[in-house]
């Protein structure tokens, strides 16, 4: 069977192999992605972001369980911190989602940031497309949890869920991060903690303040309280996520298409950036120079980074 047919039919081994090749940036993965593109565009991509320790992994685990009860197939991409020794992902998310390993309707893949900023890895969107083409009804993307710069998920997901917990100063972080522009749904997890009602009230105030700044003024961000480890509030959260999807797909609405366009725009710019970088490196090597030699000259103060970059750019014209 052709590799594309294997992926579209949901063959787990083929999907895993292709995702590995994408993460390793093997040239062969590009042709696979090209041929898979006509099979994409159906899955509901849901992003989960928030500070470390707010319970994103536990929440994603519970959401996956809820969707499986509805017989929906689920793909999970969990972006983990990069190991300083191997460059791979520290697989904390897989440990929390062990009960799904034997479920053929759930596919879980951890991936490392590898120095990428914005809470996602460079290969995340390509992997989303593979799981989309494989027929997953829902693709859950969990960001690494690095703090206030995790805004890239808003351009990668149809629905963005921002997770907070009481007692961590999240109201201040929210103002700093400008999350009123990226959050479609706000979750106050670990709602059994003291101060949860205060956090909800502060979020309600922030939602009202942010109404003037939001890109989508027709959707008012919803606030849901959960206790992920106990499974409380999960049904309400799923209902809210589905309400946002229905809003995006409402008759005559352009919102779903706009969300998809943002994802493709992000992918296109990323692909252009990567290809341009490879072309520049190839041009440098072809000239008989090397990055190490360029660095040596800069360190010796024989040149400077700005002059070198300008010379390289001028050479491309």
Using pLDDT thresholds of 50, 70 and 90, give the confidence band for residue 95.
Answer: low
Using CA atoms, how far apart are residues 218 and 184, in angstroms rounded to an integer?
11
Summarised one tens digit per residue, pLDDT across range 193-215 is 988 888 888 888 877 776 555 55
pTM, to two decimals: 0.85
Closest CA to 30 of 275, 266, 261, 282: 275
More confident residue, 4 or 264: 4
Structure tokens at 38: 């006509």
Q: What values do phi and psi take at 101, rounded to 5?
A: -60, -35
CA atoms within 13 A on the CB side of 88: 7
- The answer to whether 263 and 126 are in contact (CB under 8 A) is no
Which tokens go with 98?
């062990």
Residue 255: predicted pLDDT: 85
145: left (phi over 0), alpha (psi -120 to 50) or beta: left
Return the structure tokens found at 290: 């090397």
Measuring CA to CA, which residue among 72, 184, 79 is closest to residue 137?
72
Structure tokens at 200: 């909800």
Domains within the chain, CATH numbers bracketed: 41-253 (3.40.50.300), 268-316 (no CATH)
Structure tokens at 274: 């990567």
What's the pLDDT at 43? 96
156-167 pLDDT, tens digit per residue, is 899 999 998 887
Report the number of secondary-structure helices (H) and strands (E) in the chain. Answer: 13, 7
Q: Which of 9-18, 171-180, 245-254 has the lowest mean pLDDT?
A: 171-180
Least confident piece of the model among 31-45, 114-128, 199-213, 273-287: 114-128
148 vs 140: CA distance, rounded Å: 20
Residue 167 to residue 275: CA distance in whole angstroms: 44
Q: Which of 4-8, 147-151, 268-272, 277-281 has the lowest mean pLDDT?
A: 147-151
Report the pLDDT averaged over residues 71-99: 69
Using CA atoms, how far apart are residues 24 and 4, in angstroms rounded to an integer?
Answer: 19
CB-based contact 108:78 (threshold 8 Å): yes
> CB–CB of 159/186 below 8 Å?
no
Tokens 């509901």 appear where?
44
């Amino acid at each position: 069977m052709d590799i594309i047919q294997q992926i579209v039919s949901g063959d787990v081994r083929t999907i895993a192999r292709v995702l590995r090749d994408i993460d390793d940036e093997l040239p062969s993965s590009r042709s696979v992605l090209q041929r898979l593109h006509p099979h994409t565009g159906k899955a509901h991509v849901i992003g989960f972001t928030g500070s470390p320790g707010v319970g994103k992994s536990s929440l994603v685990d519970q959401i996956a369980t809820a969707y499986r009860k509805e017989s929906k197939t689920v793909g999970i991409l969990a972006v983990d911190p990069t190991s300083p020794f191997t460059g791979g992902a520290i697989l904390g998310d897989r440990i929390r989602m062990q009960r799904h390993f034997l479920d053929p309707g759930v596919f879980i893949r951890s991936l490392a940031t590898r120095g990428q900023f914005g809470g996602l890895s460079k290969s995340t969107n390509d992997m989303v497309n593979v799981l989309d083409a494989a027929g997953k009804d829902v693709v859950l993307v969990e960001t690494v949890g690095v703090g206030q710069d995790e805004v890239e998920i808003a351009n990668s997901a149809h629905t963005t869920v921002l997770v907070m917990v009481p007692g961590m100063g999240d109201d201040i972080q929210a103002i700093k991060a400008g999350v009123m522009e990226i959050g479609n749904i706000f979750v106050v997890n670990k709602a059994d903690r003291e101060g949860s009602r205060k956090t909800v009230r502060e979020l309600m105030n922030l939602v009202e303040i942010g109404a003037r700044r939001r890109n989508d003024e027709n959707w008012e961000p919803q606030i849901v309280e959960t206790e992920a480890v106990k499974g409380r509030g999960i049904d309400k959260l799923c209902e809210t996520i589905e309400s946002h999807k229905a809003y995006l797909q409402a008759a005559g609405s352009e919102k779903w298409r706009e969300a998809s366009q943002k994802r493709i725009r992000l992918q296109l710019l990323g692909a252009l950036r990567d290809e341009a970088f490879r072309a520049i490196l190839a041009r440098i090597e072809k000239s008989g120079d090397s990055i190490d030699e360029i660095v040596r000259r800069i360190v010796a103060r024989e040149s400077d980074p700005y002059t070198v970059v300008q010379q390289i750019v001028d050479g491309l014209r």
